[in-house]
Amino acid sequence: MVYLSSIGAHREKGLGLITQCHILEQELSTVSRPNAFIRAAWFMENSQWDIDSAREKGEIASFLDPLDRPFPMVATGDIGGLAARILQQDWIDNRYLELEGPRRYSQLDAAGTWSRLLHRPVVAKPVPREEWDMFFQQQGTSQDRTAPRIEMLDGFNSGWIDFEGNSTEHVQGTRTLEEVFRGLIKR
């Protein structure tokens, strides 16, 4: 069996939205069959929220901080590709595969990529933490669902949510941020 999990799922708390992946791993790792858990990095496609703002205002709202810190990111196509390869393999016991793209990207990298692709200056604008709850509600998240998202972002920003590294397989995808953003623009 192959499951999509998340970076940080080895942690027991402080995960926010990723908590469900931790629970999934804990419960299914006890099943007496070979399991593979793909602990995917931050999805590059999360930046789809940025397209309109980058086009219209020349800015992207940033929740990852600091702006120049590279974070592990991965294209969803790389996740699917890895899952397909794993399903064709034989193994015993549980496998934990930590997947990220060919390199790590900062929010400044994301803004620069949008600038090149949209042929206009785009800057990364940090959203003050005290405004996150209202910002997410304005995007359509119900008030009772913003706390897990905020907890997850706090975990990324503090470094708490990261790859485990010990006794895991580390895999690098091939799709770059520019490739993914170009695809998002075409949608």
Beta strand extents in 41-183 (DSSP E only): 42-43, 59-62, 73-74, 94-100, 123-126, 169-172
Residue 180 pLDDT class (50, 70, 90 cuts)? very high
pLDDT at 95: 96
- Give me the residues paired with residue 176 across strands: none
Asked if the model's pLDDT at residue 2 lies above 90, the reply is yes
- HSE at residue 95, side-chain half, CA atoms within 13 A, is 22
pLDDT at 187: 84
Better-scored residue on pLDDT, 187 or 59: 59
Give percent of the chain above pLDDT 90. 96
User: Rounded to whole angstroms, how far apart are CA atoms 155 and 172?
Assistant: 22
Q: For the chain, which domains are there? A: 2-186 (3.40.50.720)
Asked if the model's pLDDT at residue 129 lies above 90, the reply is yes
Nearest CA to 40 out of 77, 84, 15, 73 is that of 73
The residues, ordered by sequence, that sit 6+ positions from 174 with a Cβ below 8 Å of its Cβ are 78, 101, 102
- The size of the chain, in residues, is 187
- HSE at residue 184, side-chain half, CA atoms within 13 A, is 25
